[in-house]
Amino acid sequence: MRFEAKTLDEAYIKASETLNVSVADITKKAKIIQHPSKGFFGLFSKPAIIEIEDIQKDIEDLIPEIEEGLKRLFSKSCFNVDIFEVKKWDDETVFIKIDGEDAALLIGKEGYRYNALNHMMYNWINQKYGYKVRLEIAKFLETQTEMLKKFLVPFIEKVKVKGYGKTKPFDGILAYLALEILREAFPEKYVALRERNGEKYVIIGDRHDNSSNSDA
């Protein structure tokens, strides 16, 4: 991404504001494409041009900013939630935990509110910082994971026998939880999330045959 300004300092500041990272980080990453020049009697002047490759703030550096954003968001809501935990889940994912007196109300019937909030959180974090989100509300994610592990036991046994398989469609976050569980169960196989007609499901096959859509 290129940034242009009258001076290098102004170009660094412009890049910093656009990418939401410090000027110090910008100066380390920036490649100067063109130094500014005043020209001759004001003619043929040239602006400063810098180029920035993909740059992200480390998750650890984002934690206070995300926590503050969560507090501002829920301070304007009618839900009484007062526990916000933000930490690094892995190199690509921010873990967010929300809890409190009304936390269960954020889940909704069959998790519909959770799915909506998870989608909102993902859009916020991914678009602004470039990271994925793992959202936990009142142990909802933990409970769903344990339930799904038990549900997938017969499917896993079938795959062990046949060598391939396709799950039933899953709604919302369940599809991604199923993907995690099955990748852990079959690290040597190709395990991927597919979507067809608005329905998400997981397929498993040999790594050399990653187009498999066979039913288990």
The reported pLDDT for the residue numbered 176 is 92
The structure tokens listed for 39 are: 């020209």
Residue 109: predicted pLDDT = 87
* Per-residue pLDDT of the chain in tens (216 residues, 90 and over written 9): 889 999 999 999 998 888 777 788 788 889 999 999 887 666 678 999 999 876 667 888 889 999 999 999 898 888 899 889 999 999 889 999 999 999 999 999 888 999 999 999 999 998 888 889 999 999 999 999 999 999 999 999 999 999 999 999 998 899 999 999 999 999 999 999 999 988 999 999 998 655 444 444
pLDDT of residue 41: 61
Domains of the chain by residue range: 2-51, 59-138, 144-205
Residue 216's pLDDT is 46
Evaluate whether the domain defined by 59-138 bears CATH number 3.40.50.300.
no
Q: What angle do CA 46, 48, 52 make, to 5 degrees?
A: 145
Locate 132 and state its tokens. 């994925």
- Closest C-alpha to 93, from 180, 194, 166, 6: 180
pLDDT at 50: 94
- Which residues does 50 contact at the CB level (< 8 Å), separation at least 6? 2, 3, 8, 11, 12, 15, 30, 31, 32, 33
CA distance 190 to 157: 16
DSSP string, the chain: -EEEESSHHHHHHHHHHHHTS-HHHHHHH-EEEE--B--BTTBS-B-EEEE-------HHHHHHHHHHHHHHHHHTSSS---EEEEEEEETTEEEEEEESTTGGGGT-GGGHHHHHHHHHHHHHHHHHHS-EEEEEETTHHHHHHHHHHHHTHHHHHHHHHHS-EEPPPB-THHHHHHHHHHHHH-TTSEEEEEEETTEEEEEEE-TT-TT-----
Q: In terms of CATH architecture, what is 144-205? A: 2-Layer Sandwich (3.30)
Distances (CA, A) of 135 to 6, 118, 204: 43, 6, 26
pLDDT at 53: 75
CA dist 166 and 201 (Å) reads 7
> What token pair was written down for 23?
């000027």
